[in-house]
């Protein structure tokens, strides 16, 4: 089974621009979560989508948004980029079904490294 894929892997943008990151979950997984990783703040939860609905949201400004499509692929968008948005953005997918006790296990993609200049 293919793992979680994220595109692009690297991205360079300038302040004020907007960016869209994409995540394709493991086949059959309907939950997709996004995390931001920075040296200062560590790993922080952005939001989670399930069946095209945002089900959970972290403490981030409204410039950060996301969506999920009917095939469970997800995108996150950051508008009006700031220098502090430079980070590794990780996507994780999860199955909703308890299979051998593996519910709630999140599988991570390789991340998208965003640099804001």
Partner 1 sequence: AQTVTQSQPEMSVQEAETVTLSCTYDTSESDYYLFWYKQPPSRQMILVIRQEAYKQQNATENRFSVNFQKAAKSFSLKISDSQLGDAAMYFCAYSRWSNSGYALNFGKGTSLLVTP
Give the three-class secondary structure for 85: helix
Binding characters for partner 1, 9-28, by CB under 8 A (x = yes): --------------------
Q: Supply 113's token pair.
A: 């490294």
Give the residue among 44, 87, 82, 79 at the shortest CA–CA distance from 63: 79
- 92 part of the interface to partner 1, by CB under 8 A: yes
Tell me the closest approach of the beta carbon of residue 16 to partner 1, in angstroms. 27
Q: State which of residues 11, 73, 79, 88 lies at the interface with partner 1 (CB under 8 A).
A: 88
Q: List the 19-24 sheet strands across, edge first.
A: 5-7, 19-24, 74-78, 64-68
114, two tokens? 């965003």
- Positions in 28-47 near partner 1 (CB under 8 A): 31, 33, 35, 42-45
* Contact positions vs partner 1 (CB under 8 A): 31, 33, 35, 42-45, 48, 50, 55-56, 58, 88, 90, 92, 101, 103-108, 110-111, 113
């Amino acid at each position: 089974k293919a793992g979680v894929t994220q595109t692009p892997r690297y991205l360079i943008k300038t302040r004020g621009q907007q960016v869209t990151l994409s995540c394709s979950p493991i086949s059959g997984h309907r939950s997709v979560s996004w995390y931001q990783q920075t040296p200062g703040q560590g790993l922080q939860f952005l939001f989670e989508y399930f069946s095209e609905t945002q089900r959970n949201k972290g403490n981030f400004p409204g410039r950060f948004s996301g969506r999920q499509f009917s095939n469970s692929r997800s995108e996150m968008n950051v508008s009006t980029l700031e220098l502090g948005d430079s980070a590794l953005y990780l996507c994780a997918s999860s199955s909703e079904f308890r299979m051998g006790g593996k519910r709630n296990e999140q599988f991570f993609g390789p991340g998208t490294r965003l640099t804001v200049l």
